[in-house]
Structure 1
Amino acid sequence: METSFENQVKGLYEKTDGILYDFFTAQRQNSQAQVNISQEFKEEFFSLVDKVSLSLLTDKDNFYGYFLMQMARELRFDISSPTAVNFKGAKYVIYFNPVIFLDLNLKQMESTIKHEILHILSLHLIRAKEYEGTYSTLAINLAMNIVVNAYLDHLPPYSVTLEWVNRNYSLNLLPYKPFEYYLEEIQTALDLLEADENAADEHDTDDPDPDPEERIETEYDPEKAHDLWAESSDMDEKTLQEFTEKFIADAQKGSIPNYLESMLSALKNSKGELPWNLYLKRLMGTVESSPKKTITRRNRRQPQRLDIRGQLRSHKAKITVALDISGSISDQEFNQAIKEVLAIVKNYNHEITIVECDSEIRRVYKIKSVKDIKERINIRGGTKFTPVFEYANHHKVNLLIYFTDGKGEEKLLTIPRGYKTLWVITGKEDKLSLKKAYGAVKKLKKIEIKDDSLTMNDVKLEGFSMQDQESLYI
Structure 2
Amino acid sequence: MSKNFEKLRAKLYNRVTNIVNGGEMFKARRDGEKFVVDMPEDLKMEFYKLVDRVNLAMMEDKENFYGYFLFQVKREIRYDIATPTSISFKGAKYIIYFNPLIFLQLNLSQMQGTIKHEIHHILALHLVRAKELRRKYSTLAVNMAMDIVANQYIDFLPAYATTLEWVNTKYNLKLEPYNSMEYYVREIQGELDLLEEDKEGEEDDSKGDTKDEYDPKKTHDTWDESDDIDDKTLKSFTEKFADLSSKGKLPIEIEAMLKTLKGSENEIPWNIYLKKIMGTLESSKKKTVTRRSRRQPNRLDLKGELRGHRAKIAVAIDISGSISDAEFMQAMKEVLSIVKNYNSEVTIIECDSNIKRAYKVKSVKDIRERVTKGGGTQFTPVFEYINNTDTNLLIYFTDGKGEDKLKVTPKGYRTLWIISGRGYKLSLKEPYGVVKRLKAIEEKDEFIDIHDVRNDGWSMNSVEPTI
The TM tier, using the shorter chain, reads 0.5 to 0.7
Q: Are the aligned partners of 1:26 and 1:33 in contact in 2 as well (CA < 8 Å)?
A: no
Change in CA separation of 1:36 and 1:18 when aligned onto 2, cut-off 3 Å: farther
Q: Are the aligned partners of 2:36 and 2:79 in contact in 1 as well (CA < 8 Å)?
A: no
Higher relative contact order (CA closer than 8 Å, sequence separation 6+):
1
Q: Deviations over 1:78-126 (max 9, x none)?
A: 0001000111111101010001100111000000000000000000011
Q: Give the superposition deviation at 1:40.
A: 0.9
Change in CA separation of 1:256 and 1:189 when aligned onto 2, cut-off 3 Å: same
Change in CA separation of 1:147 and 1:25 when aligned onto 2, cut-off 3 Å: same
Which of 93, 96, 106 is equivalent to 1:94?
A: 96
Q: Give the superposition deviation at 1:270.
A: 3.5
| Amino acid in the other structure paired with 2:133 | Y
Aligned mates of 2:37, 2:237 — CA distance in 1: 33
Q: Which ranges of 4 or more aligned residues in structure 1 deviate by more than 4 Å?
A: 23-28, 207-211
Matches of residues 106-185 of structure 1 in structure 2 within 5 Å?
A: 106-185=108-187
Q: Give the superposition deviation at 1:168.
A: 0.2
Q: Give the superposition deviation at 1:132.
A: 1.6
Q: Give the superposition deviation at 1:154.
A: 0.9
Matched, 1:247 2:247: no
| Amino acid in the other structure paired with 2:43 | F
Matched, 1:60 2:57: no
Change in CA separation of 1:23 and 1:129 when aligned onto 2, cut-off 3 Å: farther
Which of 249, 256, 260 is equivalent to 1:266?
A: 260
Which of 228, 252, 256 is equivalent to 2:222?
A: 228
Aligned mates of 1:258, 1:135 — CA distance in 2: 31
Q: Are the aligned partners of 1:13 and 1:99 in contact in 2 as well (CA < 8 Å)?
A: yes
| Amino acid in the other structure paired with 1:245 | E
Q: Are the aligned partners of 1:23 and 1:34 in contact in 2 as well (CA < 8 Å)?
A: no
Aligned mates of 1:178, 1:25 — CA distance in 2: 47
| Amino acid in the other structure paired with 2:201 | D
Structure 1: gaps of 5 or more residues: 273-464
The match for 1:38 is 40
Aligned mates of 2:8, 2:144 — CA distance in 1: 33
Change in CA separation of 1:33 and 1:124 when aligned onto 2, cut-off 3 Å: closer
Structure 2: gaps of 5 or more residues: 29-33, 267-426, 438-467
Change in CA separation of 1:24 and 1:163 when aligned onto 2, cut-off 3 Å: farther
Change in CA separation of 1:141 and 1:45 when aligned onto 2, cut-off 3 Å: same
Q: Are the aligned partners of 1:121 and 1:244 in contact in 2 as well (CA < 8 Å)?
A: yes
The match for 2:10 is 10
The match for 2:196 is 194
| Amino acid in the other structure paired with 1:133 | R
Aligned mates of 1:105, 1:33 — CA distance in 2: 27
Matches of residues 283-362 of structure 1 in structure 2 within 5 Å?
A: none
Change in CA separation of 1:54 and 1:166 when aligned onto 2, cut-off 3 Å: same
Change in CA separation of 1:18 and 1:178 when aligned onto 2, cut-off 3 Å: same
Q: Are the aligned partners of 1:71 and 1:91 in contact in 2 as well (CA < 8 Å)?
A: yes
SS in 1 for 2:186: helix
| Amino acid in the other structure paired with 2:13 | Y
Change in CA separation of 1:34 and 1:69 when aligned onto 2, cut-off 3 Å: closer
Change in CA separation of 1:249 and 1:16 when aligned onto 2, cut-off 3 Å: same
Change in CA separation of 1:64 and 1:44 when aligned onto 2, cut-off 3 Å: same
Q: Give the superposition deviation at 1:36.
A: 2.2
Q: Give the superposition deviation at 1:230.
A: 0.5
Q: Give the superposition deviation at 1:15.
A: 1.2
Q: Are the aligned partners of 1:63 and 1:252 in contact in 2 as well (CA < 8 Å)?
A: yes
Q: Are the aligned partners of 1:143 and 1:186 in contact in 2 as well (CA < 8 Å)?
A: yes
SS in 2 for 1:135: coil
Q: Deviations over 1:148-180 (max 9, x none)?
A: 111110111111111100000011111111111
TM-score by length of 1: 0.53
Q: Give the superposition deviation at 1:22.
A: 2.7
Q: Give the superposition deviation at 1:71.
A: 0.4
Aligned mates of 1:109, 1:120 — CA distance in 2: 17
Change in CA separation of 1:51 and 1:24 when aligned onto 2, cut-off 3 Å: closer
SS in 2 for 1:133: coil
Q: Are the aligned partners of 2:152 and 2:163 in contact in 1 as well (CA < 8 Å)?
A: yes
Q: Deviations over 1:292-339 (max 9, x none)?
A: xxxxxxxxxxxxxxxxxxxxxxxxxxxxxxxxxxxxxxxxxxxxxxxx
> Which of the two has higher C-alpha Rg?
2
Matches of residues 460-471 of structure 1 in structure 2 within 5 Å?
A: none
Aligned mates of 2:171, 2:127 — CA distance in 1: 25
Change in CA separation of 1:116 and 1:34 when aligned onto 2, cut-off 3 Å: closer
SS in 2 for 1:35: strand
Matched, 1:238 2:240: no
Q: Give the superposition deviation at 1:38.
A: 1.5
| Amino acid in the other structure paired with 2:72 | Q
Q: Are the aligned partners of 1:19 and 1:36 in contact in 2 as well (CA < 8 Å)?
A: no
TM-score by length of 2: 0.54
The worse-fitting range, judged by mean Cα deviation, of 6-15 and 72-81 is 6-15
Q: CA RMSD in A?
A: 3.2
SS in 2 for 1:223: helix
Aligned mates of 1:224, 1:24 — CA distance in 2: 28
| Amino acid in the other structure paired with 2:61 | D
Q: Percent identity?
A: 51
Aligned mates of 1:12, 1:66 — CA distance in 2: 25
Aligned mates of 2:250, 2:71 — CA distance in 1: 17
Q: Are the aligned partners of 1:118 and 1:148 in contact in 2 as well (CA < 8 Å)?
A: yes
The match for 1:325 is none
Q: Are the aligned partners of 1:27 and 1:33 in contact in 2 as well (CA < 8 Å)?
A: no
| Amino acid in the other structure paired with 2:37 | V
Q: Deviations over 1:177-230 (max 9, x none)?
A: 1111110010001001117xxx84xx326x788763xx1111001110100000
Q: Are the aligned partners of 2:86 and 2:222 in contact in 1 as well (CA < 8 Å)?
A: yes
SS in 2 for 1:177: coil
Q: Are the aligned partners of 1:178 and 1:472 in contact in 2 as well (CA < 8 Å)?
A: no
Aligned mates of 1:46, 1:82 — CA distance in 2: 14
